[in-house]
Copies of this chain bind each other. A is one copy, B any other.
């Protein structure tokens, strides 16, 4: 099945994605379900390695193995990744496949790790078995929707950059635009995961929809980064998603960054856009506050997938 063009070792990269504000859109068809909103892709994120053992492996009834950050995970702890892999494994394939996912950001903190793992896994299958980007990305999106992952991360990650989801839906249906901006970095502070299910009761969801639509309308009228951050902060505060600790952290940050800081949707954390020259003041503040933080670049490309070979001794470099 695999040849020189369908290699045995593959690597994919999917950017981390932070949502600034959103409107969930549920439809009967998972491919039409998605979100409206805005966010940013980062040059750190999820890296997925796939290794294919064509045949000859002891076949123990398991053709598929998934690991997160080097630790094997069971089907129950990686429902989305197993779902993607099983849908994309050709029926006639009787070898063994290992999927190793590595995350630059902590899980559950609003960086789109789940979608990153799903899309990265999908991309390795796509390259290995001759399917297109949108074809496999649709599988990742549907697995996200059906299993309670993100609604808009996959399409946002496909678009890259600072993005505005102007039509909801999965790959090929949703439409994602980009805010054009000078080079900016993104500071993210991550205090921990958030319990999404506890937060999103019916009343909150109604406010989210109203505030999210309002923010989207205003951003499409004036699509610039400072406007996006103003709108995101207002969204976070008005929906009550942003707790007092995050508000006070954001106020501290506002003193050293050029645009408003806001909450990472959905994690206990905040993010801000900064210029190179702002970094010393930002790092000074965050070190004083002693909070875990990361500085990334905006990732303006598309997700990547390629064959991967380790360099051995004596290989040309």
Contacts and interface: CB of A to CB of B under 8 A. Distances in A.
A304 B136 CA distance: 26
Given A7-B182, A133-B161, A182-B306, 19 more contacts: A127-B181, A130-B222, A130-B224, A131-B180, A132-B179, A132-B180, A132-B220, A132-B223, A134-B175, A134-B178, A160-B302, A161-B302, A166-B172, A172-B175, A182-B307, A300-B301, A300-B304, A301-B301, A301-B302
A123 interface: yes
A206 interface: no
A214 interface: no
A172 B181 contact: no
Nearest to A259: B5
Nearest to A225: B5
Interface in A125-164: 126-127, 130-136, 160-161, 164
A305 interface: yes
Interface residues of A, number: 39
B130 A182 contact: no
A183 B301 contact: no
A177 interface: yes
A134 B178 CA distance: 7
A192 to B, nearest CB: 33
A223 B130 CA distance: 6
Closest 3 pairs between A and B when the two form their complex, measured CB to CB:
A133-B178, A127-B180, A301-B301
Contact of A135 (B177, B300, B301, B307): B177
A5 B181 contact: yes
Interface in A200-216: none
Interface string A223-262: 1111000000000000000000000000000000000000
Contacts of A175: 134, 172
Contact of A133 (B132, B180, B301, B306): B180
A280 to B, nearest CB: 15
A148 B305 CA distance: 36
A211 B136 CA distance: 27
Contacts of A167: 172
A100 to B, nearest CB: 19
A226 B220 CA distance: 42
Contact of A172 (B123, B177, B305): B177
Contacts of A302: 160-161, 178, 300-302
